[in-house]
Amino acid sequence: TYPALDGALTWAINNQNSNANEQYVVVLVTDGDPTQCNTSNSAIATLAANAFNNSGIRTYTIGMQGANIAALDQIAQSGGTGQAFVIQGTNSNNVEAQLIAAFQAIAGQNVSCSFSMPPAGSYDPNDITVSFTPSSGPPATGLAQRTDSSQCGTGWYYDNNANPTGITLCPSTCAAAQGDPGSKVDYEIGCPKALDTTAYTQIYEANCPVGTKPQWGYFAYDSTDPGDSNIVFRARTADLQTGLASATFVPLVTAQSAPTDTQVCPMSGPSPCPVDLYIKMGTPDAKRRWLELEVTLNPTSNKLNSPTLNDWNITYSCPPGE
């Protein structure tokens, strides 16, 4: 018994480690006490305990006529399955029916109702199909997504709708799956939608009193730029708002995390922050009334992550007119 269970558990552990999305269990069927090798029931139970505690492998036991049920209960308890299944009598038809019932019960207990999701960014959480296929075979039935467990009838829900890491079947759907040994729950997820470059513009007017002339001052910003994403800032000016369309944009700064981290550029410095618009724009452009800021957000090269512009600020002054 000891080497048989040891070998079966080793096989299950190795396969579990190689197939993280699959669940392996071991079923020990016996009609007597151990007679060779290590015959200690405690040692055999320890094998089951180690596999369950360290690798999540459950050990089920089935006792035929003549089996030591107390010892099998000890192994089952250590293996995370509670107690042994007991097969009564010796009539072949009756024994067969009891064995089938025991295996069906074991299969039902191991239909999972929770599933882990791939890492965030590697799939589209809004493009997912969950289906249930009964043991009798296709067709599969699509399961409806619910907002959370409180909205359950049948179907499933995410553990976190904003940032899902797993899905869980609603209780009634879980019970139906576990009550139908040989049934199957599958989910299919779509690839993440590729992020594109996006650009925005904001127009500013320098309102200065009579006798003064506007002068654009400083530009500061706060951004988050994952990976090789970046944000490009440009500006152009004109004396009239209608003249902005024909003016030429001037590069101001690029926010990025590498090779030089320029994600944050505060008004308080240090140099080269904040960006000196008077120097960047030059004269006479830095002294025109209207300014248009262009912000271009470029995603990472794999199109999976995009930068975020958290805040920005532009200043101007009104020195006496020349």
Q: What is the pLDDT of residues 142-183, one digit of tens each?
A: 999 999 989 998 899 999 988 898 899 998 888 888 777 677
Predicted local confidence at residue 188, as pLDDT: 87
How confident is the model at residue 322, as a pLDDT? 65
pLDDT for 102 equals 85
What percentage of the chain has pLDDT greater than the value 90?
A: 51
Residues, the chain, total? 322
CATH number for 198-317 (one of 1.10.357, 1.20.1740, 2.60.120, 2.60.40): it is 2.60.120
Of 10-19, 35-44, 202-211, 313-322, least confident by mean pLDDT is 35-44
281 pLDDT band, cuts 50/70/90, is very high
Cβ atoms within 10 A of the Cβ of 87, count? Answer: 21
Lowest mean pLDDT among 16-20, 39-43, 126-130: 16-20
Q: What is the CATH number of domain 2-109?
A: 3.40.50.410
Q: In the chain, helix, strand, coil percent, each to 5? A: 25, 35, 40
pLDDT score, position 111: 67
Residue 101 CB coordination number (10 Å): 13
Q: Token pair for residue 241? A: 């708002």
Residues 173, 105: Cα–Cα separation, whole Å: 17
- Integer Cα distance of 250 and 248 in angstroms: 6
Q: What is the reported pLDDT for 56?
A: 79
Question: Alpha-carbon distance 287 to 317, whole Å?
Answer: 10
DSSP E strands in 177-262: the ranges are 184-190, 198-205, 215-224, 230-238, 250-256
Inform me whether the pLDDT recorded for 83 exceeds 90. Answer: no
Entry pTM: 0.47
Among the listed residues 79, 62, 89, 64, the one whose alpha carbon sits nearest the alpha carbon of residue 24: 79
- Judge contact between 173 and 151, C-beta under 8 A: no
Show me where the domains of the chain are located: 2-109, 114-190, 198-317
Residue 128 clears pLDDT 80, i.e. is over it = yes
Beta-strand relationship, 141-143 and 124-133: antiparallel
Q: What's the half-sphere exposure (Cβ side, CA atoms, 13 Å) at 200?
A: 7
| 244-279 pLDDT, tens digit each | 999 999 999 999 999 999 999 999 999 999 999 999
pLDDT tier, 218 (very low <50, low <70, confident <90, very high otherwise): very high
Structure tokens at 143: 């399961």
CA gap 83, 109 in Å, rounded: 13
Model confidence at 21, pLDDT cuts 50, 70, 90, reads low
> Could you say which DSSP state residue 191 is in?
P
Q: How far is CA 148 from the centre of its chain?
A: 17
Q: Which long-range contacts (CB under 8 A, 24 or more apart) does 133-138 make?
A: 133/183, 133/184, 133/185, 133/186, 134/180, 134/183, 135/180, 135/181, 135/182, 135/183
Q: How far apart are CA 48 and CA 311, in angstroms?
A: 57
Q: What is the pLDDT of residue 55?
A: 83
